[in-house]
Amino acid sequence: MSTILTHMSFKFLKSNQIKLYKRENSKYWQMKIKLPKQQAVRSSTGFKTLKDAEQIAIKNYSFLKKKNNIVIRRNPNNIYKKIHLVESADLNKKDIEFILDEAKKFISFNKKKIKKNNLLEGRTVFNLFFEDSTRTRTSFEVAAKRLSADLINVAVKDSSINKGETLLDTMTTINSMNPDVLVIRHPEEGISKRISESVDACVINAGDGSHEHPTQALLDALTIKNKFKKFTKLQIAICGDILHSRVARSNIIILSKLGAKINVIAPKEWLPKNINTLPVTLYTDMKKGLNNCDVVMMLRIQKERINKKIMPNQKKYFTKYGLDYKKLEYANKNAFVMHPGPMNRGVEIDSKLADDVTRSLIQEQVAMGVAIRMACLEILIKNKDDTLKF
């Protein structure tokens, strides 16, 4: 029952956990929702009549209860507070370790017979891939669907971009549909960051030109962690087309932050000019560069970013830089081989070695990709929820 005070009316609902109140000089009913062990949330209901306000309050009460008790669990160790994941440079060591830890629970979950929970029920994720992709796009799709989010694959090839609409206009249009996450792959460097500055949704960079691909580096880190437990004392070689590879850049940043020592091995012309600003040791020779390495990460030649005229002869390239059993012997005994895919067999990696599950972690990387993307979706959406006052 509402009690009339001289300056304010109020009413309690649901065992005193919802309080509705209206000040004398205000038209609208306010609500205060206080769940056990949670901070109270105060907000206007936006309604003038008590009946409407009650409905809104009950709806928000159920949402908060679900959010706190069932759907999103608060993790007191959550240190990554950002709502976007666009650059590895934005992650510190603790953030990275936290994301890897959060992904751990999804590794066993993904091996269950029924691979579905309701963690992101009612949430909407858009896949916007302006470049070819199979594994990254499907990996995000599988991740979102296993958490019960609705996933929309935008057929970019058929999009209004082809009618002259700017990318930012397309993003603003999609943003108006209230998505929770936009997963973006695009040939332009820095585009995910720019989009993240103009939309409300969380943005994940799934590859921007030769710049960054943070979830790939996180899944690589998780794959390595599963094998070696620690990164300190690990020596990792990243080999091939470093200049055009966003995977190389993100891995150098993330693996070195975790404490690994990175050797970069590439033909001189494929070493970026600013490579000396990154914490790596440079080699142009596989024998020297692989010495003492525990992990050898091979990269695809990024044909789509290289002028055909300066493409190396594939056979010659394989002889010098392609990884086979013989070159792998330069690394530590039992060293593991990685590749983000898609592979060009016989160009950067020997086909038999790539398929040798005693040495190659390539299939394991794909499995870890789903777990990492589930963790990233969960963390970013949870962070976004924490910023909302509703």
Instruction: Kindly list the residues in this chain that would bind ligand NCD in the complex (CB under 6 A).
Output: 135-136, 207, 213, 216, 246-247, 300, 340-341
Residues 6+ apart with CB under 8 A from 93: 257, 258, 259
Closest to 300 measured CA to CA, from 259, 344, 269, 257 = 344
User: Would you say 289 or 369 has its CB closer to ligand NCD?
Assistant: 369
User: Would you say 207 or 289 has its CB closer to ligand NCD?
Assistant: 207
User: Would you say 207 or 322 has its CB closer to ligand NCD?
Assistant: 207
Residues 6+ apart with CB under 8 A from 73: none
User: Would you say 246 or 327 has its CB closer to ligand NCD?
Assistant: 246
Compute the C-alpha angle 119/125/130, nearest 5°.
150
Instruction: For tokens 């592979």, name the residue.
Output: 343
What minimum distance in Å lies between the beta carbon of 365 and ligand NCD? Answer: 8
User: Would you say 64 or 298 has its CB closer to ligand NCD?
Assistant: 298
**β-bridge pairing 280-283 and 295-298:** unpaired
User: Would you say 133 or 383 has its CB closer to ligand NCD?
Assistant: 133
What minimum distance in Å lies between the beta carbon of 361 and ligand NCD? Answer: 14
What minimum distance in Å lies between the beta carbon of 87 and ligand NCD? Answer: 15
What minimum distance in Å lies between the beta carbon of 113 and ligand NCD? Answer: 27
DSSP secondary structure string for all residues of 44-72: E-S-SSHHHHHHHHHHHHHHHHIIIIIIS
Complete edge-to-edge strand list for the sheet that includes strand 18-23: 3-4, 8-13, 18-23, 30-33, 41-44
Tell me which residue has its CB nearest to ligand NCD: 300
DSSP secondary structure string for all residues of 72-140: S---TT-----S-B--GGG--HHHHHHHHHHHHHHHHHTTSSS----TTTT-EEEEEESS--SHHHHHH
What minimum distance in Å lies between the beta carbon of 30 and ligand NCD? Answer: 48
CB 333 within 8 A of CB 289: no
Residues written for the chain: 390
What minimum distance in Å lies between the beta carbon of 216 and ligand NCD? Answer: 5
| Distance in angstroms (rounded) separating the CA atoms of residues 329 and 318 | 16
What minimum distance in Å lies between the beta carbon of 262 and ligand NCD? Answer: 17
User: Would you say 67 or 186 has its CB closer to ligand NCD?
Assistant: 186
